[in-house]
Structure formats: C-alpha cells, structure tokens
Structure 1
C-alpha cells in the first residue's frame, strides 16, 4: 500500500502579499464613487490633458502639498 507524502506548507506562505490590480481599483473607484486617480505623466494622456491635470493639482493642493482653500 502506497501512502502519499504530505507536502510541508510553510506557515509564512499565507503572509505573502497578494498581487493587486491597481488599474481595476482605479476603474472601480471612478465608476462607483467618481474618484479619479491618474498620474500627470500617464502616457495615455496628450500634452493638453497632462497640463490640465497639473494645473488642477496645483490649484487643489499647491506646492509641496499645501492646501489652498
């Protein structure tokens, strides 16, 4: 009679991080809550869109994250 060998499962294996699909999270954030997360350096944007994002970021958050209200 052959007995299958038990494979040792390291208890640390469950602590390894799960790979997260960031684009899917951004997409659902926009669709569900209208929160937009985009880099001003995103290659999918043209020059005018990048400039618009930079200006909006500056207006809302200012230089070095200072809030302008």
Structure 2
C-alpha cells in the first residue's frame, strides 16, 4: 500500500491562531474583528464597538433590556 507524499489542500500544515487571522483580515482586506469585551480597549473604545455593532447588525441578545429566553 502506498502512502501519500504530499498534503492535500486544507489538510495538515499549521493552523493560524485567531489573533493572526484577525490581524491578517485587517491588513489584507480592511476587515476588523474585535470583541466588545476586549480588555485591551478602554471603556469608550468598547462602547464605540458596541454602538457600531448595534447600528450595523442590531442589538445583541445580551443587550435586549435584560430579557432572558
């Protein structure tokens, strides 16, 4: 039985960490992926991210006035 001597696309190799994916997305395509809870941001920066998300996509389930379920 022969073994494969190459790795088909999408298999093997090293996997990029999520921060690297986000960094590459910003640098290569101008796409920003940031968590509203990212502790590297100040409170006003996190609030801006929340407001942008609400405006573009609507409020998050956790921001719907305290309702659960």
Higher helix share: 1
- Cα distance change on mapping 1:36 and 1:51 into 2, 3 Å: same
Across the aligned residues of Structure 1 and Structure 2, the Cα RMSD in angstroms comes to 2.2
Q: How many residues align?
A: 50
Structure 2 stretches of 5 or more lacking a match?
Answer: 1-10, 62-69
Runs of 4+ that moved beyond 4 A = none
TM-score norm. by structure 1 comes to 0.63
Shift of the alpha carbon at 1:63?
2.6
Taking the TM superposition and a 5 Å limit, the aligned residue runs for 1:49-68 are 49-64=45-60
TM-score norm. by structure 2 comes to 0.63
Greater gyration radius: 1
Structure 1 stretches of 5 or more lacking a match?
Answer: 1-14
Of 22, 26, 30, which residue of structure 1 is paired with 2:26? Answer: 30
The 2-side partners of 1:20 and 1:33 are apart by 17
- CA deviation string 1:31-66 (max 9, x = no partner): 00000001010000000000000000000011358x
